């Protein structure tokens, strides 16, 4: 399998180069040359297969010969070393819980897969690999955890100051070692812009191989297909499910759309958004109008110009009608999200985190118009990860999981910077020089 840049200027590359490059030299996102078709046997037998085999079968065509089969299988075993249960929310809706990994959010899977692939490539190349990542909260924590102590790697995380939760901030800033945090006085879009500029800066490439760990990286993006296969593996209903995905940068849902193209039975996708509703309005009007992001209680979805929108266009050849047919989209205010959390807790004693609650709200909206549809919402974060927000909503204290309580005792270490490229660049160089 080769990957081309969506900007069509840079040459096509294999999985290894696309993973290490992150972004193509022409600043385009990479896209696979073709979407593999999964065999009927594989799809029909998903419930019989173990997680690592499912992951291996899905990723093998994408990885090609850049990682030997036995190494890829081991990477998959390590990546998927926690549970992904499908639990009942109400009569028509289930939740695929993607938050049982080390940082209690769904990005653990993609980040663990990526870090282990990069770790393999760094050993093979015997060269330092620098991971540069912008985060609105959860990406950074998952990446930090995934790469912590992976030999041959230095991780630099840019996050918006004051716009991530306390737990998220600790996950980004308290590990030390090969994990470094730049605290940007701006929003996520500023962080993303600075990272994009750093990649385009040839001088920085002298310090090692630069790579991104954002959802734009094909390793993270494509490995998320495994969630959807794990959902179908546990799906007992006769007809294919509607799947509602809490969406910010649209990497996760775009992976689901790729899995569907490969043959996975999904009736309909729903892109569930908070007040950052650029995509919802695109579905409604056909006009894509990126905006500055606004802050919400589901802050990992506070994205005003989703990076993966362009991949959705690519997947559907820019055909708006086709996109509209495959993806419904709804957006909800913080008040509506809070009401959903409070009601479900009162009625069924189930606690959802704010991101998952947005997906549940969207599923309810869909089911109001399609009474017989049964569906799956993706549970992208553990409710206790957002304890301060949910406690206010349900008016009750919730216990912090032990892993998190220990993390909270550690000391934050970050460098505060203005959202200015020359300042960011100097700090990045300082970190790299001092870590040698």
Ligand X SMILES: *Cc1c(COP(=O)(O)O)cnc(C)c1O
Out of 57, 97, 108, 138, name the contact with ligand X by CB under 6 A.
Answer: 138
Out of 23, 86, 105, 341, name the contact with ligand X by CB under 6 A.
Answer: 105
Whole-angstrom Cα Rg for the chain: 20
Nearest to ligand X of 107, 116 (CB atom):
107
d(CA 230, CA 108): 15
d(CA 277, CA 243): 19
Q: Which stretch binds ligand X (CB under 6 A): 170-178, 226-234, 247-255, 420-428?
A: 247-255
Contact 87, 235 (CB under 8 A): no
Give the residue at shortest CB distance from ligand X: 138
Nearest to ligand X of 249, 260 (CB atom):
249
Nearest to ligand X of 223, 249 (CB atom):
249
CB of 195 to ligand X, least distance (A): 15
CB of 111 to ligand X, least distance (A): 11
CB of 342 to ligand X, least distance (A): 19
The footprint of ligand X on residues 278-317 (CB under 6 A) is: 300-301
Nearest to ligand X of 5, 139 (CB atom):
139
Site string for ligand X, 324-353 (x = CB under 6 A): ------------------------------
Angle subtended by helix axes 69-79 and 51-63, to nearest 10: 130
Tokens 């308290």 map to which residue? 174
DSSP assignment letter at 351: -
Out of 225, 249, 280, 296, name the contact with ligand X by CB under 6 A.
Answer: 249
Q: Which stretch binds ligand X (CB under 6 A): 118-126, 229-237, 246-254, 392-400?
A: 246-254
- Number of residues engaging ligand X in binding (CB under 6 A): 16
Pure H helices in 148-277: 166-173, 188-199, 218-223, 225-233, 251-261
Nearest to ligand X of 93, 247 (CB atom):
247
Q: Which stretch binds ligand X (CB under 6 A): 72-80, 189-197, 250-258, 366-374?
A: 250-258
Nearest to ligand X of 295, 415 (CB atom):
295
Query: Does residue 355 touch ligand X according to CB under 6 A?
Result: yes
The tokens describing 327, both together, are 């993806």
Out of 101, 102, 208, 246, name the contact with ligand X by CB under 6 A.
Answer: 246
Residues 6+ apart with CB under 8 A from 228: 243, 255, 256, 259, 260, 264, 266
Give the three-state DSSP class for 181.
Answer: strand
The footprint of ligand X on residues 160-219 (CB under 6 A) is: 215
Nearest to ligand X of 250, 316 (CB atom):
250
CB of 355 to ligand X, least distance (A): 4
Query: Does residue 247 touch ligand X according to CB under 6 A?
Result: yes
Residues 6+ apart with CB under 8 A from 415: 180, 181, 182, 183, 427
Pure H helices in 200-333: 218-223, 225-233, 251-261, 278-285, 309-315, 320-326
Query: Does residue 107 touch ligand X according to CB under 6 A?
Result: yes
CB of 256 to ligand X, least distance (A): 10
d(CA 33, CA 2): 6
Enumerate the β-bridge partners of residue 378: 96
Contact 46, 264 (CB under 8 A): no
d(CA 215, CA 379): 18
Site residues (CB under 6 A) for ligand X? 105, 107, 138, 215, 246-252, 300-301, 355, 380-381
């Amino acid at each position: 399998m080769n990957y081309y840049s969506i900007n069509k200027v840079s040459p096509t590359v294999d999985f290894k180069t696309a993973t290490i490059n992150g972004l193509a030299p022409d600043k385009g996102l990479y896209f696979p040359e073709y979407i593999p078709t999964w065999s009927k046997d594989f799809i029909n037998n998903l419930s019989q297969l173990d997680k690592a085999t499912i992951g291996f079968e899905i990723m093998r065509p994408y990885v090609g010969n850049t990682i030997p089969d036995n190494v890829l299988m081991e990477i998959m075993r390590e990546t998927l070393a926690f549970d992904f249960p499908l639990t009942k929310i109400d009569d028509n809706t289930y939740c695929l819980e993607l938050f049982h990994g080390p940082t209690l959010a769904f990005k653990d899977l993609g980040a663990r897969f990526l870090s282990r692939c990069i770790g393999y490539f760094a050993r093979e190349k015997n060269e330092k690999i620098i991971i540069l990542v912008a985060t609105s909260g959860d990406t950074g924590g998952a990446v930090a955890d995934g790469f912590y102590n992976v030999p041959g790697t230095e991780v630099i995380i840019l996050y918006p100051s004051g716009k991530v939760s306390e737990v998220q901030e600790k996950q980004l800033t308290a590990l030390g070692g090969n994990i470094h945090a730049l605290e940007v006085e701006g929003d996520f879009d500023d962080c993303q812009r600075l990272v994009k500029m750093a990649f385009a800066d040839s001088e920085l490439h002298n310090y090692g191989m630069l790579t991104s760990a954002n959802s734009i990286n094909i390793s993270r993006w494509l490995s998320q297909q495994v969630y959807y296969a794990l959902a179908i593996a546990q799906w007992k209903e006769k007809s294919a499910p509607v799947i509602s995905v809490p969406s910010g940068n649209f990497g996760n849902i775009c992976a689901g759309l790729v899995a569907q193209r490969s043959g996975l039975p999904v009736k309909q996708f729903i892109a569930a958004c908070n007040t950052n509703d650029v995509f919802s309005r695109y579905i409604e009007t056909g006009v894509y109008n990126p905006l500055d992001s606004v802050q919400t209680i589901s802050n990992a979805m506070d994205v005003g110009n989703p990076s993966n929108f362009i991949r959705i266009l690519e997947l559907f050849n820019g055909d708006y009608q086709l996109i509209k047919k495959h993806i419904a989209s709804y957006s909800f205010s913080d008040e509506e999200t809070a009401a959903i959390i409070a009601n479900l807790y009162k009625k069924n004693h189930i606690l959802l985190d704010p991101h998952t609650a947005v997906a549940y709200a969207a599923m309810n909206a869909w089911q109001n118009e399609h009474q017989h549809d049964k569906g799956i919402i993706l549970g992208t974060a553990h409710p206790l990860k957002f304890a301060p927000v949910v406690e206010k909503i349900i008016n009750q204290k919730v216990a912090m999981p032990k892993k998190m309580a220990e993390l909270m005792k550690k000391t934050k270490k970050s460098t505060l910077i203005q959202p200015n490229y020359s300042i960011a660049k100097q700090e990045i160089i300082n970190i790299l020089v001092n870590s040698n």
